[in-house]
């Protein structure tokens, strides 16, 4: 399964007490492939460091990039498909570039062309599939 994680989903999945932590566990156990671009990594860094501080953020991003199922790509085309929140275009561009199965998001916003999955539904999918994998 090829996934692009919205920054807020990645952030809330890091905490072991979070109901979304299964997403991070599944990623760490190679249950799905995560694709990121430089733009996405930059946003991860900016947002997560505000919550967790620079040292922990650096550690988490290094851990992330060392996983064999995390792939750094650079989309060659900027589609500019989201007008409501143009900053989210980086996720759509990455998803289109790798033919992602989903962009995992926390809130409902209109993402064109690419299938999205709410974090709640992704958790259910992972609980149904990943839990039997362990």
CATH of the domain at 87: 3.40.50.1010
98 class by beta-carbon count within 10 Å (0-12 exposed, 13-18 middle, 19+ buried): middle
Render pLDDT for 31-61 as a digit per residue (tens, 0 to 9): 999 999 999 999 999 999 999 999 999 999 9
Q: What is the pTM of this model?
A: 0.80
The tally of domains found in the chain comes to 1
Average pLDDT along the chain:
89
Q: How many C-beta atoms surround the C-beta of residue 13 within 10 A?
A: 22
Domain, as residue range, for 17 = 2-132
> Distance between CA 40 and CA 9 in Å, rounded?
12
């Amino acid at each position: 399964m090829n996934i692009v994680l919205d920054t807020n989903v990645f952030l809330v999945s890091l905490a072991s007490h979070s109901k979304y932590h299964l997403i991070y566990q599944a990623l760490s156990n190679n249950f799905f492939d995560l694709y990121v671009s430089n733009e996405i990594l930059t946003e991860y860094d900016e947002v997560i460091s505000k919550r967790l501080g620079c040292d922990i953020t650096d550690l988490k991003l290094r851990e992330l990039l060392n996983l064999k199922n995390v792939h750094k790509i650079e989309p060659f085309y900027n589609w500019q498909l989201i007008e409501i929140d143009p900053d989210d275009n980086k996720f759509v561009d990455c998803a289109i570039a790798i033919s992602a199965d989903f962009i995992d998001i926390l809130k409902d916003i209109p993402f064109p062309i690419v299938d999205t999955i709410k974090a709640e539904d992704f958790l259910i999918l992972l609980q149904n599939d990943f839990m039997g994998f362990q």
